[in-house]
Chains A and B, each alone.
Chain A
């Protein structure tokens, strides 16, 4: 109950942000929400034990699918987001049937290569995609109204957060956690490993696709260099790691924390600000493998249990 009130408080705070925050903070928050969703989607795949470097690729596919469906098929921009999700999911399904038979470094490196393949294909289908110079939309979604855009992205992010929470409370949680812990045990306990991997891969790719679509509709353009940019791979990973992997709270905290830092970094170092993200990943892996959230939670719990002990001893007197 306490938790629900807590969440509700944050949702209301976030939803009413446009009324008390300035344009700049609104813009920063929009960006943070975008990366939050990406980070959660990456983490959800990681919960199966498979490290994917393909998320930027599906983001890019979604971006192009959304833009093309709006300009060529005249679909409403909001509807184009569904198209982006379905398209990314479709590709993930086909590709997943092959790559999800790989494990560990083989899976990771193949997803990395896949993202490059997507980019090369997009570059070369220049009639449709505009090649290396990209394409623009006549107008951003909602006529460029930044408040409406913010609400749309907030809405999507809340859904992604809910999905992540549900995933951690459902039967699927037990399946993917088992697969990550010990695949052989999972198989001998009746878990259809491949089915669950495909399922998670497809819906996380759909999330990445939809976010790619939103991003495109917000800025009204696509270009291979920026749409398939390393940012959309690197930042979500760094955020999830900093916050703490395998949780919903981790990527959320990580996205807020790094999102704010990132704005500051862009100001002081326009060139090479991604350096810090690389450094953060390295530091987290070496010194804080559990991320902030889990460490903080443990500290909190330890203190609590100590307090309980203290209470007990004082009662004894």
Chain B
């Protein structure tokens, strides 16, 4: 992965601008956006890793998150394991699931071009959605935890305090990842493979192993996130689905391969979304603005002469 190769300064500028405006107008939107945006970034990071290093856009990304949510849900319902505690077993479960998916499918389409890769992961995403439907139907499910619905009051605003965990987790994961890439041998290998897989192969790096590791780790991070999310979301087979798209938009916004950019892009998008939702009477249209922004971002950064 080409870390920090692309400049993220324009994102900084936009973020700064929005923060000032929003901060004056509605401080709660700012905090809400920070929380929401951290979650987006946390979910986008694994997609960025797989895309940046393996050159595969995983359309089943959101569904891996959904699987994590249901796994955590099952642990809670059947074994009364608190979602926050279940993050660990779910992490391990998703690492294993990621490994299985990698060996059975992804491995076979590496370097085969975008067409089979997109169709394959699209097929996997459908399979996961439908499997969940078969077992749990489409009925939404919730897990209530008292600690997750606490809130704090700042001035006139009430803000969920549990969601600060997203912010904490996002920054922790990003920091750990950067440390890992810089300080460990495996991290260096990952870096090298991201830069130039053939070159890495020549200098004796086991590229296949690196890919396996990246795919498993990505899947695992989604499991971790799922456990933390569970007390605050209602889950159904399509819960994770929009996140594939959102994550891709963040990656496009940040510039392929920029880790810092993803965090910034996530927070920017989170705040923008909070602002739109705060406009009274337009709640239904907020999705449109949201997708509109996503499309605009992808277009703006990737248009080529046609």
List residues of A whose CB falls within 8 A of some B CB. 51, 53, 98-106, 108-110, 112-114, 116-117, 120-121, 123-124, 193-194, 197, 230, 234, 237, 241, 269, 271-275, 277-282, 285-286, 289
Contact = CB atoms under 8 A, between A and B. Distances in A.
Contacts of B126: 230, 234, 274-275, 277-278, 281
B291 interface: yes
A109 B119 CA distance: 12
Q: Chain B: interface residue count, which band?
A: 35 or more
A112 B241 CA distance: 12
Interface in B228-249: 245, 248
Nearest to A234: B126
Most-contacted residue by chain B among A113, A123, A197, A280 (CB, 10 A): A113
20 contacts: A53-B122, A101-B304, A105-B248, A108-B118, A109-B248, A113-B294, A124-B285, A193-B306, A237-B122, A271-B137, A272-B130, A272-B131, A274-B130, A275-B134, A277-B123, A278-B127, A279-B127, A281-B123, A282-B120, A285-B123
A282 B295 CA distance: 28
Residue in A103, A105, A124, A230 whose Cβ sees the most chain B Cβ within 10 Å: A105
A74 B303 CA distance: 42
Contacts of B292: 117
Given A98-B299, A102-B299, A109-B245, A123 B284 contact: yes
Interface in B258-306: 284-285, 287-288, 291-292, 294-295, 298-299, 302-306
Contact of A271 (B120, B122, B134): B134
Interface stretch (B35-43, B108-116, B173-181): B108-116
Contact of B295 (A114, A123, A269, A273): A114
A249 B162 CA distance: 56
B55 to A, nearest CB: 10
B302 A279 contact: no
Contact of A102 (B122, B131, B291, B298): B298
A275 B292 CA distance: 30
Name the residue among B130, B284, B302 with the largest chain A CB count within 10 angstroms: B130
B170 interface: no
Majority SS at the chain A contact face: helix
Contacts of B129: 274, 278
A194 B285 CA distance: 32
Q: Is chain B's interface secondary structure helix, strand, loop, or mixed overall?
A: helix
Residue of A53, A116, A273 most packed against chain B (CB within 10 A)? A116
A113 B292 CA distance: 9
Given A106-B298, A110-B295, A275-B134, A286 B303 contact: no
A100 B304 CA distance: 9
Contact of A269 (B114, B127, B134, B294): B134
B158 interface: no
Contacts of A116: 245, 287, 291
Given A98-B299, A102-B302, A281-B126, A117 B291 contact: yes
Nearest to A273: B130
Contacts of B87: none
A269 B135 CA distance: 12
Contacts of A113: 245, 291, 294-295, 298
A73 to B, nearest CB: 25
B6 interface: no
Contacts of A278: 123-130
Contacts of B287: 116, 120
Nearest to B252: A106
B4 interface: no
Contacts of B109: 285-286
Contacts of B57: 105, 109
B105 interface: yes
Interface string B131-146: 1011001000000000
A273 B115 CA distance: 25
A273 B285 CA distance: 32
B127 A237 contact: no
